[in-house]
A and B are shown apart, each in its own frame.
Chain A
Amino acid sequence: KAGVTQTPRYLIKTRGQQVTLSCSPISGHRSVSWYQQTPGQGLQFLFEYFSETQRNKGNFPGRFSGRQFSNSRSEMNVSTLELGDSALYLCASSWAGGPDTQYFGPGTRLTVL
């Protein structure tokens, strides 16, 4: 079974630009969660989508948005990039969203200059 894939793996952007990251979950999984990982901060929950609906949302500004398609693939968008948005963005999929059944992708490393 193919794992969770994320594209692109690396991105370099400049302040003020916007970026879209993509996540393809494991086949059959309907829940996709997004996390931001920065050094010394652990993983910060961004949002979770289940069957195309945002089910949970973390404490991030409205510049961070996402969506999920009917095939469960998900995209995350960050508008008006700031230097502090530089981080590893991880996506995790699960069948129903249970905390111990999340399978993570390798992440997208975003650098904002």
Chain B
Amino acid sequence: DQQVKQNSPSLSVQEGRISILNCDYTNSMFDYFLWYKKYPAEGPTFLISISSIKDKNEDGRFTVFLNKSAKHLSLHIVPSQPGDSAVYFCAASAGSNYQLIWGAGTKLIIKP
């Protein structure tokens, strides 16, 4: 049973436009959500996080939105740049147990 789902395996966006990556979860105990970015042949790197007490967190071009009632979060990248082409993973954790539950990832392709 996948508790964290990223239903789009890939997404193609024009450079300069907004990229929106989506993530759904089923476990209402999740209270901390993260996005990681992964380039080929490298490990994932932390991008941005959000606690369940917030509905939005912003860091430069990256904004994460959390809709707890819909059990849905999204990552917005504005404007999209070629270096943003990577696989993006959504992950969640519950309480003080730091074990992360990961989505399958979405490959973002930024077209010039």
Contacts and interface: CB of A to CB of B under 8 A. Distances in A.
Indicate whether A and B interact: yes
A48 B97 CA distance: 11
Given A43-B44, A100-B46, A106-B41, A58 B34 contact: no
Contacts, number: 59
Interface in A9-39: 35
Contacts of B104: 40-42
Interface string B84-104: 000001010100011111111
Chain B interface, >50% SS class: strand
Nearest to B32: A99
A41 B87 CA distance: 13
A44 B99 CA distance: 10
Contacts of A104: 42-45
Interface of A: 4, 35, 40-45, 48, 56, 58, 90, 92, 97-107
Interface of B: 4, 6, 9, 32, 34, 41-46, 49, 89, 91, 93, 97-105
